[in-house]
Structure 1
Amino acid sequence: MINASELKLTAVSADIKRVTADALVIGVARDTSGDRAVPRLVGSPLPQIETDALEASLGALGLTGAADEVRRLPATDSIKAGVLVLTGLGPVDGELVGTEALRRAAGSAARQLTGLSRVVFALPAPTVEAAAAVAEGVALGAYSFGSHRSKSNAAEKGPLTEAVVATAASTDRALPAALKRAAVVGRAVRGVRDLVNTAPNVLYPESFAQAARDAAKPLPVKVTVLDEKRLEKDGYGGLMGVGRGSSRPPRLVKVDYSPARAEAHVALVGKGITFDTGGISLKPAANMHQMKSDMAGAATVLQAVLAIAELGLPVRATAWLCLAENMPSGSASRPGDVVTMFGGKTVEILNTDAEGRLVMADGLVAAAEDKPDVVIDVATLTGAQLIALGNRTAGIMGDDEVRDALKAASDRAGETAWPMPLPEELRPSIDSQVADLANIGERHGGMMTAAVFLREFVGEVDGRKIPWAHLDIAGPAFNDGAAYGYTPKNATGSTLRTLLAYAEELAAR
């Protein structure tokens, strides 16, 4: 089910005269150092006379150097490539180009160069860090999803299969590891996208659990699946309450990577609502098809643990995939029902469309039983997240130390996230008159109210609350607009790179 395409990543020196390829990619910056912005080539591998001639014609070609500007030109005689490709780097003052600008420029070119097999990326990459950013951008941009197309459409142009990064750091002994990491990151992100893009009649709790088993087979990872009988027996009232309206019963999947000399243990809990109708509190019909993406949190934590395992980080990482389908039926939960969660707390259901926090609560309690050092949950949890932070910025809430570390990790990874508070005045709004808690509270600040609810289920170790943070990715997990940079339309794979960067920081400590 996870068909993440393979991409070969290699590196050569910046002198690419003898390198053959289908295309050569060069960067065009929007130079802002003068009185007015002008386009110019940065790090061109072409002979100086050709570089000067090409640069003089950029304006006439309509190029500005803006991000996402990709233009194909006939190749020159000095290179062994079928076509010359110019990709926008965005605003640049001087010769130094930031890693995220490189990542996006390479990703934008890779995304648009479908139908080509081997492409050389000669962007300004003088260091291992810069070369890794180019490689990662290519790995993120070279993606397409065709699993549901018929054989008659099999000839559709696919993503490129081999990328060569031209860099002055080609002989640096740290480069192979950096390229491996870029390949692992790209494969993991593409794996998330494949799961999120899969149709909900194909991806449901049972088949999702099998996909997790299949993806973990080549790695030193243990997968445990709790079916509906075990969930009922053990008292997982959140998962069972949400899933009882569907003919496809829920699952709880534990994916555990436990290296011998782990420096720390991070538990990742992911929301996996494989389709969300809203249940009895039915959603409006408009854009309901996008609710197949409501399992993006579970897909993200699954692939994050697999990436951590593949890179061999000395960190124990455990993913908890909370999988259910939220459907209306005669057996579905009703507004007014009270369910007993795993661990014993009771919750009054006031709105069946606030179901994600119910399955996540069960997962949080289960995760605490392993006594991890930190718990992070990831979910497409609230529409309020989009209202507060828009389509591309994730919200981070929780304990200050974990929240701030995740923000720093997102900055390093080149992803957009923003810390949000958990005001204490929101807690009384989730009190219930008949149960321990209600599943909805204050309407205003709904993203934060949902996090306050989840906080109630974070466990303790030796009388001390486990450090915790919550990532609401409702907006950035799914792109219903035009593709940009290395981000395609539909599933994005957002936040996986943040989790990996956070795990690497734990390992470095």
Structure 2
Amino acid sequence: MSTTLSVNTESPSSLDADAVVVGYHSGGDAPEPASGAHSVDAAFTGGLGSTLSLLGASGAPEEVHTIASLGAVTAPIVVAVGLGPAPTDGAVDPDVLSRAAGAALRALSSRPEGAGRVALALPATTADQAGAVALGAELGTYSFDRYRTGEKAEKKAARPSATLTVVSGADGAADAVERAAVLAEAVSFTRDLVNTAPADLVPEDLASAAQEIAQQAELEIEVLDERALSEGGYGGLTGVGQGSANPPRLVRLAYTHPEATRTVAFVGKGITFDSGGLSLKPAGGMDSMKSDMSGAASVLAAMRAISTLGLKVNAVGYLTVAENMPSGTAQRPSDVLSIYGGKTVEVLNTDAEGRLVMADGLVRAHEDQPDLIVDIATLTGAQLVALGTRVFAVMSNDDTVRDEVVAAATAEGEASWPMPLPGELRAGLDSSVADIANVAGERWGGMLSAGVFLQEFIEEGTKWAHLDIAGPSFNQGGPHGYTPKGGTGAGTRTLVRIAEDYARKQ
């Protein structure tokens, strides 16, 4: 991400910038200036709110209007972004600020000259608000241009990097903005991996990317290739990967802090492309399946962020990486696999492959004796049916852990919802020939039965949470807030926040 971030306490009306971003609330006869916008509003004859009203602005969330300042303020352009109704306590929610900043920067970044130097005068009277503004703004500048060619792409590549200044006098604002920059870099890295064409990110490529990150972030790394996986008894990864010309990998990353007393383990699903295997997906459902490695990408990015932030916690990340393809060597419905540790699984549907590779990773993660295991996966289409495209599910074998993970996601502005693991669903996974089947006999509650399946590979007494991010990981609609079309980076910030929470529990 080619941006620079800073904090400034000067009046936004006099800052030397190419554009100044201010917030407006809905309500009344005209949009009302939010905290931070008053000096800019007052610089316009009759107030900027009156001009916005003439343009049809209402102050609705993420509504963006760009206006020439004509010398009223130092910046030649004023970007007014809606924040919705003014809160009764005067404290604008940080997530509202992040999305508003993202919408404003998406608008500015779409100009031929790019965003340029931007002063962000959104409400930032607390460090959390300042960090939220910085995070949204950085994420709003994101674009994936790896495959763009021609004159337009060349001009875009030649643009100077965006310079973002958060206007805030809050105590701790500088630290919050610095943290936001680390998180934004992590989310953008996740997005880059998810958006990469599957031919350019086969399992070996993702493992190589992990090796590069490990070197940069000084992480310990272990990569098991197909031979090591077969000899080690990783039947889930071996079975799913055997139909592809690109063999599977298991990647283990570790971050150790000398003063840490707690360990968290993250396990990410890394299916670099999911055709469904012999249980082939319909053509219309396959074009977004490059995103089936979003969980592994989030774990990799979170591990780098944890190291960069120097958190006082031990963290281990597992990437369970394979490509699910149909071929003469592919696993068949009714095959029986032996998962790492020995439990057997009857494969009734080869398109329910994620839970198979995740089972290997979950069992292996116990060897690190973590205080908590969190897995993250684009696991089920049923997640979209239950919660839609913007909310991921959180399941756990411990209600307190589940609530803590939901709280971590909420604190990071990531929409999640607690879901149960009904015990009666386990009977639907009974197999006549193996310890368990990979899918239930009926289609109802598919998201929950997938979680029940994973729970089978968690030892008694081990705290565990499961994040199903199938919908939120890949935006197939239009961009909104700081979220682009394509890979979103969903879950990355939540993993980092979980690690921060455990660092505070020392």
TM-score range, shorter chain: over 0.9
| C-alpha distance in 1 between matches for 2:91 and 2:70 | 26
Residue 82 of structure 1: CA displacement?
A: 2.6
Residues 1:104 and 2:99 are matched in the alignment: yes
Partner of 2:49: 55
Q: By how many angstroms is 1:154 displaced?
A: 2.4
1:22 aligns with 2:22: no
2:272–2:322 Cα contact (<8 Å) kept: yes
Query: What is the alpha-carbon distance in structure 1 between the residues aligned to residue 411 and residue 75 of structure 2?
Result: 34
Q: Aligned residue for 1:204?
A: 202
Distance change in 2, residues 1:151/1:253 (3 Å): farther
Shift in CA distance, 156/66, structure 1 to aligned 2, threshold 3 Å: farther
Q: What is aligned with 1:188?
A: 186
Q: Which residue of 2 aligns with 1:165?
A: 166
Q: Residue in 2 aligned with 1:310?
A: 308
User: Aligned in 2, Cα 1:272/1:156: closer, same or farther, shift over 3 Å?
Assistant: farther
Q: What's the C-alpha RMSD, in Å, of the aligned pairs?
A: 1.6
Distance 2:30 2:261 in 1: 50
- Paired with 1:157 and 1:492, the residues of 2 have a C-alpha distance of 21
Aligned-pair identity in percent equals 51
Counterpart code for 2:452:
V
Contact 2:268 2:319 in 1 (8 A): yes
On the 8 A contact 2:30/2:52 being kept in 1, the answer is no
CA distance in 1, matches of 2:45, 2:295: 46
Question: 3-state DSSP class of the match of 1:26?
Answer: strand
* TM-score between both structures, scaled by the size of structure 2: 0.95
Alpha-carbon deviations, 1:225-279, whole Å to 9, x = none? 1000100110110000000000000000011111111131000000000000000
Secondary structure of the corresponding residue to residue 17 of structure 2 = strand
Per-residue Cα deviation, 1:90-109 (whole angstroms, up to 9, x for no partner): 22245432111111101111
Contact preservation (8 Å) 1:67, 1:485: no
> How far, CA to CA, are the matches of 2:324 and 2:148 in structure 1?
27
2:295 aligns with 297
Match of 1:422 in 2: 421
- Residue 198 of structure 2 aligns to a residue whose secondary structure is coil
Residue in structure 1 matched with residue 118 of structure 2 by the alignment: 119
Corresponding position: 1:379 with 2:391: no
Structure 2 counterpart of 1:104, which letter?
Answer: R
**2:284 aligns with one of 283, 286, 289:** 286
Per the normalisation by structure 1, the TM-score is: 0.94
Q: 1:20 to 1:354 in 2, by over 3 A?
A: same
Give the distance between the partners of 2:339 and 2:235, measured in 1 at CA: 4
Residue pairs, 1:49-448, within 5 angstroms: 50=44, 52-94=46-88, 95-114=90-109, 115-150=114-149, 152-155=151-154, 157=156, 161-169=162-170, 172=171, 174-398=172-396, 399-441=398-440, 442-448=442-448
Letter in 1 for 2:231: K
Name the CA distance, whole Å, in 2 between partners of 1:195 and 1:109: 25
Q: Which amino acid aligns with 1:333?
A: Q
Partner of 1:42: 34
**Counterpart in the other structure of 2:493:** 497
Query: CA separation of 1:50/1:324 partners in 2, compared to 1, >3 Å: closer, same or farther?
Result: same
Contact 2:135–2:183 under 8 Å retained in 1:
yes
| Residue number in structure 1 paired with 2:479 | 483
Distance in 2 (CA, whole Å) between partners of 1:237 and 1:89 is 51
Shift of 1:504: 1.2
Q: CA deviation at 1:181?
A: 0.3
Q: What is the CA-CA distance between 1:498 and the residue it aligns to?
A: 1.3
Counterpart Cα distance in 2 of 1:436 and 1:152:
59
Q: Deviations over 1:278-324 (max 9, x none)?
A: 00000000041100000000001111111111100001111100000
Q: Is the 8 A contact 1:14 1:122 kept in 2?
A: no
Distance 1:56 1:154 in 2: 38
Q: Take 2:240 and 2:362, find their aligned partners in 1: how far apart are those partners?
A: 16
**What is the number of equivalent residue pairs in this alignment?**
494
Distance of 2:299 and 2:320 partners within structure 1: 11
SS state of the match for residue 44, structure 2?
helix
Give the superposition deviation at 1:47: 6.4
Note if 1:452 corresponds to 2:458: no
Structure 2 CA distance, aligned partners of 1:363 and 1:153? 44
Q: Offset at 1:52?
A: 4.1
Q: Using the TM superposition, give the Cα deviation of residue 347 of structure 1 relative to its aligned residue in structure 2, in angstroms.
A: 0.6
Deviation of the 1:116 alpha carbon:
2.2
- 1:38 Cα offset (Å): 4.4
Preserved CA contact (<8 Å) 2:30 2:50: no
Are the equivalent residues in 1 in contact too, given 2:13–2:75 (CA < 8 A)?
A: no
CA distance in structure 2 between the partners assigned to 1:104 and 1:49 by the alignment: 26
CA shift in 2, pair 1:279/1:8, >3 Å: same
Partners of 2:301 and 2:426 lie apart in 1 by 33
Q: Matches of 1:455 and 1:156 in 2, distance apart?
A: 51
| Cα pair distance change 1:156/1:335, threshold 3 Å | farther
Report if the CA contact (8 A) 2:13-2:43 is conserved.
Answer: no
Classify 1:165/1:239 alpha carbon distance in 2 versus 1 (closer, same or farther; 3 Å): same
CA distance in 2, matches of 1:311, 1:51: 46
- Is the 1:41–1:51 Cα contact (8 Å) retained in structure 2? no
Code of the residue aligned with 1:39 in structure 2: it is P
Kindly state the Cα deviation for residue 375 of structure 1 after the two structures are TM-superposed: 0.4
Q: 1:51 to 1:434 in 2, by over 3 A?
A: farther
* SS of structure 1 residue aligned to 2:154: coil
CA distance in 2, matches of 1:381, 1:131: 34
Stretches of structure 1 that go unaligned for 5 or more consecutive residues are: none
Letter aligned with residue 497 of structure 1: R
The Cα of 1:155 is off from its aligned counterpart by 2.8
